[in-house]
Amino acid sequence: PEAKNALKDEIKTLLKEQNGVLVAHYYTDGDIQDLAEETGGCVADSLEMARFGTEHPADTLVVAGVKFMGETAKILNNEKRVLMPDLAATCSLDEGCPSDIFSDFCDQYPDHTVVVYANTSAAVKARADWVVTSGIALSIIDHLAKKGEKILWGPDRHLGGYVQRLTGAEMIFWPGSCVVHEEFKAAALELLRAKHPEAAILVHPESPASIVAQADVIGSTTALIKAVQSMPNKEFIVATDMGIFNKMRQLAPDKVLIEAPTAGEGATCHSCANCPWMGMNSLEKIAHSLRTGAGEILVSPELAVKAVLPIRRMLDFAK
């Protein structure tokens, strides 16, 4: 704990010296989330992270999350320096959606509106008409469907399928998924629910349809955190990355949080509801990045001017 405190103090000093602010995602390590709040930064979902970085007057944004979050921060704030603790922290959705192949796919459906999830590269966003996060996907697709638009959706097929079932939108899907949410097991969740009949089931819509079908609340990380605070239930079974428990425990210390199962009985899981890329963030790497300037995110200006349009469209819609 002493070494950790020394590291936190160093980061605080470096942030002050460089007029920097720490912006962390709910899935990062609890120490990072707490430090972000202690130092006047924020811990949030990707939509709120983007908004916070844009509204905050800091010169340097330290984005503790995964690469697309740093890229989005840079695209929206070209004049700010954006640092990431580890540039290798990516996302299975981003990795599974190479921009050249995605662009060819879009070319096959020229009469479709291209809507991409925020968990994509700058180049994929540059090809899109709209960017959405999980917190706003439903209302944007509903809006487009009511205007009669046909949607080409990428890359998370589970979130896309969920949105399609609720809106009835005409949609074509890119076949991507999140390695963390894909692991939740429907049969094991049924057994767990039977053991905890009073528990509310909270599910992030990147989960498979068989998990979403068992949910009491389906929503973004922010929505799930609010549910723990506002619902009268004592117990909650939570199907999303475990990193979210840090904030849930802080805001609702008397509630009992239970992990949704990522494996059937006796089996082992792959990611165990812990995003391996989110886990690459650490206090040590944050300090290193601030000390040396390593991990700076750069997006070419030609790409940024295109990618900023669908992101702004989302932020304006959210207002």
Residue numbers at the binding site for ligand SF4 (CB under 6 A): 27, 66, 91-93, 119, 178-180, 206, 241, 275, 277-278
At 288 the three-state DSSP class reads helix
- CA–CA dist 84, 297 (Å, integer): 7
Kindly write out the interface string for residues 184-223 of this chain, putting x where it contacts ligand CIZ by CB under 6 A and - elsewhere: --------------------x-x-------------xx--
Nearer to ligand SF4 by Cβ, of 93 and 200: the residue is 93
- CA–CA dist 288, 292 (Å, integer): 6
- CA–CA dist 212, 219 (Å, integer): 10
Helix 67-76 vs helix 301-318: angle between axes, to the nearest 10 degrees? 90
Question: Which residue type does 67 have?
Answer: K
Residue 45 binds which one of ligand SF4, ligand CIZ, none, with CB within 5 to 8 A depending on kind? ligand CIZ
Residue 174 binds which one of ligand CIZ, ligand SF4, none, with CB within 5 to 8 A depending on kind? none
At 244 the three-state DSSP class reads helix
Residue whose beta carbon is closest to ligand CIZ: 45
Residue 199 has what DSSP assignment? P
Q: How far is the CB of 9 from ligand CIZ (least distance, A)?
A: 29
Residue 164 binds which one of ligand CIZ, ligand SF4, none, with CB within 5 to 8 A depending on kind? none
Nearer to ligand CIZ by Cβ, of 8 and 25: the residue is 25
- CA–CA dist 126, 105 (Å, integer): 14
177 scored as a contact of ligand CIZ (CB under 6 A):
no
Nearer to ligand CIZ by Cβ, of 21 and 131: the residue is 131
Of 34, 211, 149, whose CA–CA distance to 140 is shortest? Answer: 149
- CA–CA dist 256, 240 (Å, integer): 16
119 scored as a contact of ligand CIZ (CB under 6 A):
yes
What is the separation, in whole angstroms, between the first and last Cα of the chain?
42
Q: Which of residues 125-154 bind ligand CIZ (CB under 6 A)?
A: 133-134
Determine phi and psi for 256, rounding to 5 degrees: -100, 120
Kindly write out the interface string for residues 64-103 of this chain, putting x where it contacts ligand CIZ by CB under 6 A and - elsewhere: ----------------------------------------
Q: Is the peptide bond before 98 cis (omega within 30 degrees of 0)?
A: no
Residue 92 binds which one of ligand SF4, ligand CIZ, none, with CB within 5 to 8 A depending on kind? ligand SF4
Interface ranges with ligand CIZ (CB under 6 A): 45-46, 118-119, 133-134, 178, 204, 206, 220-221
